[in-house]
Chains A and B, each alone.
Chain A
Amino acid sequence: MTVLRTSTDGCWGIKSNSWGLYLTQVPDPDADTVISQEQLTGFEVHKDVPKIPSELWQRWINLCFEMTRLDSRNLEVSCRLLRNEADPTLYRIAVPEQSVTVASVRVDSFDKAIDIATGEVIEQWPPAGWRPCGSSHSHNTMDSFFSSTDDKYEIGDPGLHIVVGNIDVKDNTYTLAASVTANQRRFLIEPDTVLAPFVYTELTYHSSVLDVIKLPKQITSGFTSYAPRFTTHKSAATQDKLDMSLIAGELAAYNEAVDAIILACTERGLSPEKVLSNLSWDLEVKTYWNSTPLTIDDPFYWSAV
């Protein structure tokens, strides 16, 4: 059989049956290698890979710590890694304009980003002479791991991706999870294979990076009331503009659902106040995102950890 060897579609041969001809995949007659499963799924970091300098990495870690100090909620924060095209040993870290919540970071566009070291505003992504090579984000005091949302966005974004977690501002400790994504797969690696050894430095993040990090609104009171009293939290002027009767049916369903939750909490020994308070965070986040529409056509809108 004549073997047709294609560049990307493998080896094919023309087969014939009593009705006609068709193509079928055939083994490569010149095959000379057996690949083990370990090799197939493994990743070997280049021994001479340029490591991210500690002086630069510490600026990012300091920002992660600052976000933990800023707000008692577990707010996340994200940055992008850039590598110099002419000299691949040079790195930059850019903090894009982002909206952060307790469980997510959303970046609508990297076109407004701040260089973490110099405060330079990057207005077109990627900046001339620099190539995107990965990202990092903080999980604040939560564990360092790659969530389903991270997978959704990082696996198709080839490069180095690192999560900073378990941040303890008292003990000044944190943990890292590092990976390289390529070929639509994630390969876990040891962080110290890509990060230079720690060197103490007084250097920290440029203060202007805080200007591009939008925090969620604070909840001003505990969520001890629900729909019927929802509007009593508003000012009189705001109430005038809100005709709640337009969503009377939905509000009735909402009230029934809340009543059912309170009943279930009572029956199962949970604190209704605490449960409703947790739900109020979700409401706050949903309210925030609804008021901040995406500026691009993004197929992945929202998902929590």
Chain B
Amino acid sequence: MALFNFNRPSSNNDGLKPIQLIINDETIEVSGADAAGMTVEQLFNKYAADSCDVSRINRYVAQGRIVSGGTPAETGTVYSGAIASESKG
């Protein structure tokens, strides 16, 4: 049973503050445990892909400052992703 040895309870009850990901008007909350060890870009790629085209995010902002996508995500932080180009037809 080594492969299917699940640790419970779920990661929502880990006591870590969640991380908020914002893209335009959409907000996605990720539990602190789910975000552990992930970079900002990895978080957006995993948790914001249902909400937006993450490949078009070219800037991440936390507390008013631009941060690199490779920055390790910190629990309790709000990260915004900005889409900054477009075409219309």
Interface check A302, CB cutoff 8 A: yes
Q: Which residues of B contact A105 (CB under 8 A)?
A: 86-88
Given A150-B89, A305-B89; A183-B50 close (CB under 8 Å): yes
Q: Considering only CB atoms and an 8 Å cut-off, how many residues of chain B contact the other chain?
A: 34
Q: Chain A interface: which size bin?
A: 35 or more
Is there an interface contact between B53 and A157, defined as CB atoms closer than 8 Å?
yes
Number of contacts between A and B (CB, 8 Å)? 108
Interface check B58, CB cutoff 8 A: yes
Interface string of A135-154 (1 = CB under 8 A from B): 10100000000011110111
Is there an interface contact between A78 and B26, defined as CB atoms closer than 8 Å?
no
Is there an interface contact between A132 and B88, defined as CB atoms closer than 8 Å?
no
Complex Cα–Cα for A21 and B23 (A): 40
Which of A56-64, A170-178, A193-201, A292-300 participates in binding chain B? A292-300
Interface string of A1-21 (1 = CB under 8 A from B): 000111110000010000001
Which residue on chain A has the smallest CB distance to residue B66?
Answer: A124
Interface check B12, CB cutoff 8 A: yes
The answer, among A157, A296, A304, for a CB contact under 8 Å with B24, is A157
Complex Cα–Cα for A305 and B12 (A): 46
Is there an interface contact between A5 and B85, defined as CB atoms closer than 8 Å?
no
Is there an interface contact between B87 and A153, defined as CB atoms closer than 8 Å?
yes
Interface check A222, CB cutoff 8 A: no
Is there an interface contact between B89 and A304, defined as CB atoms closer than 8 Å?
yes
Complex Cα–Cα for A93 and B50 (A): 27
**Could you tell me the distance in whole angstroms from the C-beta of A266 to the nearest C-beta in chain B?**
32
Given A158-B51, A299-B55; A153-B31 close (CB under 8 Å): no
Given A21-B4, A156-B52, A157-B56; A7-B11 close (CB under 8 Å): yes
**Could you tell me the distance in whole angstroms from the C-beta of A2 to the nearest C-beta in chain B?**
9
8 nearest A-B pairs in the assembled complex, by CB-CB distance: A156-B53, A149-B89, A147-B89, A105-B88, A137-B88, A110-B84, A158-B26, A153-B86
22 contacts between A and B (CB under 8 A): A7-B10, A21-B1, A23-B4, A103-B89, A105-B86, A106-B86, A107-B86, A109-B85, A126-B82, A128-B64, A132-B24, A133-B25, A147-B88, A150-B88, A152-B87, A153-B87, A156-B54, A184-B50, A184-B53, A296-B84, A299-B55, A303-B87
Q: Give B residues with C-beta under 8 Å from A.
A: 1, 3-4, 6, 10-12, 22-26, 31, 34, 47, 50-56, 58-59, 64, 80, 82-89
